[in-house]
Amino acid sequence: SQQGEEDPQALSIQEGENATMNCSYKTSINNLQWYRQNSGRGLVHLILIRSNEREKHSGRLRVTLDTSKKSSSLLITASRAADTASYFCATGESNFGNEKLTFGTGTRLTIIP
């Protein structure tokens, strides 16, 4: 079953602008992660936020997590052409010894030079 749903599905912005992507999920989680995928390639881990954290930063990335709303956002500041990629949220669940990571359908981000 799909856990995370990203919004929007696609986003185009000018280079230098900020990009915000949102992720909503349905069940309790241990952590939420964001990944980047360049066309047809393997995913690359960007940042992980635990369920007891509200905000986390890594370079130009800022992630927030609101467990009461079951949602997260990824903000990329001062976007660059190299940020063009698909971005996925993934929720880590631990359920009776079953450890799963469930991915959303992704946001396709295009940075216009």
Partner 1 sequence: EAQVTQNPRYLITVTGKKLTVTCSQNMNHEYMSWYRQDPGLGLRQIYYSMNVEVTDKGDVPEGYKVSRKEKRNFPLILESPSPNQTSLYFCASSPRLPPYEQYFGPGTRLTVT
Contact residues toward partner 1 (CB under 8 A) are 1-2, 30-31, 33, 35, 40-45, 48, 88, 90, 92-94, 98-106
**CB of residue 86 vs partner 1: minimum separation in angstroms?**
9
Q: Which is nearer to partner 1, 31 or 73 (CB)?
A: 31
SS (H, E, C) the chain: CCCCEEECCEEEEECCCCEEEEEECCCCCCEEEEEEECCCCCCEEEEEEECCCCEEEECCEEEEEECCCCEEEEEECCCCHHHCEEEEEEEEEEECCEEEEEECCCEEEEEEC
Q: Which is nearer to partner 1, 15 or 93 (CB)?
A: 93
**CB of residue 32 vs partner 1: minimum separation in angstroms?**
11
